[in-house]
């Protein structure tokens, strides 16, 4: 594998810092690393493979000469800066929602649909690649092998998403609310419209006229795009819960072909990037603390849904900052390097 020059935009944020760590532990040979952020993080020093790097103020001119740019700067900055990088010949892997549903922009989970980037793929030669929504990533990791085997007709998913999905301020808010609650003081709500400590909010992102939130529509539309199958019907309810790290999902699947729970377990156990933890009698099942700090997607509580002829229930958990964001982005770069796609 040749050596690569990599930039990270938004390097001072929670996901950006995770990208640096994941990249450091990846197999990608990096000869040059450039870190970019806003004035708030510029000047900060971070270590990478034994060397110290200083985060720079983002400057499009500094994108020149890079092979990859991993973006974790939010939708607005991505809309503005990603084209600047692409114009300079850089492959951009963007973690925001800005480009995910854009025609001509691949939405990629390498284990699921990385082949769309290959020479014979639908998006061969793409310079701008979108990282899916964190909740979508972990769901399609388990949907794809089942879809390939039994063809999925319908998915009903309810998510239980950690506050780190809203950023560092949300993590601090949960910490402060827990402390205030225990000490008998009034709690303050700044990030969320209601107290998140010891509560659950069926409200992630903005509601639209249909009563769904933008987060729910992301899961619906992104799943169909990644699976390349609009006939798969998806409905979602997304909930914010007082967990610091790790998203959980209850997924109900209806398939055309019958799959027993045992068959589903075998299929998923053989799926790269998926770990089956499913021994209820021993209290063994995935939890957010199971997934925290791990790159894999964990699945358990695999059982048949006896209310329909061909139904399955699954419980899926993953680290939203890793496989749900930073790890998947780095894996896309590694996949492209391994396949010599630059």
Residue keyed to tokens 């894999």: 296
Q: With bands split at pLDDT 50, 70 and 90, how would you rate the model's confidence at 126?
A: very high
Examine the domain organization and report whether 98 and 227 are in the same domain.
no
In tens, the pLDDT along 299-332 reads 999 999 999 999 999 999 999 999 999 999 999 9
Render pLDDT for 174-198 as a digit per residue (tens, 0 to 9).
999 999 999 999 999 999 999 999 9
180 lies in the same domain as 275: no
Q: Does residue 272 sit in the same domain as residue 141?
A: yes
pLDDT, one tens digit per residue, over 232-262 is 999 999 999 999 999 999 999 999 999 999 9
Which H helix or E strand runs over 218? helix 214-227
Same-domain check for residues 234 and 290: yes
Q: Is there a catalytic annotation at residue 203?
A: no
Is the pTM above the cut of 0.85? yes
Instruction: Mark whether 238 and 293 lie in a shared domain.
Output: yes
User: For the sheet containing 4-9, what is the strand order?
Assistant: 56-57, 30-37, 4-9, 68-71, 91-94, 128-130
Residues 206 and 313 in one domain: yes
- In this structure, the answer to whether residues 124 and 258 fall within a common structural domain is no
Average confidence (pLDDT) over 90-117: 97
Domain C-terminal end among 177, 199, 221: 199
Report helix, strand or coil for 51.
strand
The predicted model gives 10-35 an average pLDDT of 97
Between strands 68-71 and 311-318, the pairing is unpaired
Average pLDDT, the chain: 97
Residue 114 has pLDDT above 80, yes or no: yes
Look up the CATH number of the domain holding residue 25: 3.40.50.720
Same domain, residue pair 269 and 149: yes
Condensed to tens digits (0 to 9), the pLDDT of residues 23-69 reads 999 999 999 999 999 999 999 999 999 999 999 999 999 999 999 99
Task: Mark whether 144 and 258 lie in a shared domain.
Answer: yes
pLDDT in tens, 198-232: 999 999 999 999 999 999 999 999 999 999 999 99
User: How open is the CA angle 266-267-269, to the nearest 5 degrees?
Assistant: 65
What's residue 103's pLDDT?
95
Q: Is 168 a catalytic residue?
A: no
Answer yes or no: do 25 and 116 share one domain.
yes
| 251: helix, strand or coil | strand
Which positions ≥6 away from 196 have C-beta within 8 Å?
163, 170, 173, 174, 177, 189, 240, 241, 242
Domain count for the chain: 3
Render pLDDT for 128-184 as a digit per residue (tens, 0 to 9): 999 999 999 999 999 999 999 999 999 999 999 999 999 999 999 999 999 999 999
Q: Is 48 exposed, middle or buried, given 0-12, 13-18 or 19+ CB atoms closer than 10 A?
A: middle
* Residue 289 pLDDT exceeds 80: yes
- CATH code of the domain in which 291 resides: 3.30.360.10
pLDDT for residue 201: 98
Q: Map residue 36 onto helix, strand or coil.
A: strand
Same domain, 171 and 236: no
- What gap in Å lies between CA 230 and CA 249, rounded to an integer? 21
Using CB atoms within 10 Å of the CB of residue 67, give its burial: 0 to 12 exposed, 13 to 18 middle, 19+ buried: buried
35 is in which domain, residue-wise?
4-132+325-338
pLDDT score recorded for residue 1: 72
Domain match, 277 and 144 both: yes
Among 168, 194, 203, 247, the one annotated catalytic: 247
- Give the total residue count for the chain: 342
């Amino acid at each position: 594998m040749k050596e690569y020059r990599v930039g990270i935009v938004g390097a001072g944020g929670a996901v950006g810092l995770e990208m640096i760590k994941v990249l450091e532990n990846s197999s990608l040979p990096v000869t040059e690393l450039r870190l970019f952020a806003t004035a708030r993080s510029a000047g900060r020093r971070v270590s990478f493979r034994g060397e110290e790097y200083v985060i720079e103020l983002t400057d499009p001119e500094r994108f020149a000469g890079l092979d990859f740019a991993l973006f974790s700067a939010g939708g607005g900055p991505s809309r503005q800066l990603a084209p600047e990088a692409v114009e300079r010949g850089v492959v951009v892997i963007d973690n925001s929602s800005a480009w995910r549903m854009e025609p001509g922009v691949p939405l990629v989970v390498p284990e699921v649909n990385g082949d769309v980037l290959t020479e014979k793929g639908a998006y061969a030669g793409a310079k701008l690649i979108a990282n899916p929504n964190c909740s979508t990533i972990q769901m399609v990791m388990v949907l794809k092998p089942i879809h390939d085997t039994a063809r999925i007709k319908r998915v009903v998913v309810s998510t239980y998403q950690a506050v780190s999905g809203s950023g560092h301020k949300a993590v601090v808010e949960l910490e402060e609310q827990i402390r205030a609650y225990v000490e008998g003081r009034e709690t303050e709500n700044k990030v969320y419209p209601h107290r998140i400590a010891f509560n659950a909010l069926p409200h992630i992102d903005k509601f639209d006229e249909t009563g769904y939130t933008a987060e729910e529509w992301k899961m619906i539309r992104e799943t169909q795009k990644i699976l390349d199958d609009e006939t798969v019907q998806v409905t979602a309810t997304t909930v914010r819960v007082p967990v610091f790290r790790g998203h959980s999902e209850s997924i109900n699947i209806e398939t055309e072909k019958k799959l027993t729970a045992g068959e589903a377990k075998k299929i998923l156990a053989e799926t790269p990037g998926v770990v089956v933890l499913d021994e209820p009698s021993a209290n063994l099942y995935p939890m957010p603390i199971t997934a925290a700090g791990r790159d894999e997607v964990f699945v358990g509580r695999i059982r048949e849904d006896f209310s329909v002829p061909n139904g399955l229930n699954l419980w899926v958990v993953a680290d939203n900052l890793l496989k749900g964001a930073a790890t998947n982005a780095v894996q896309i770069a590694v996949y492209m390097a391994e396949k010599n796609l630059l």
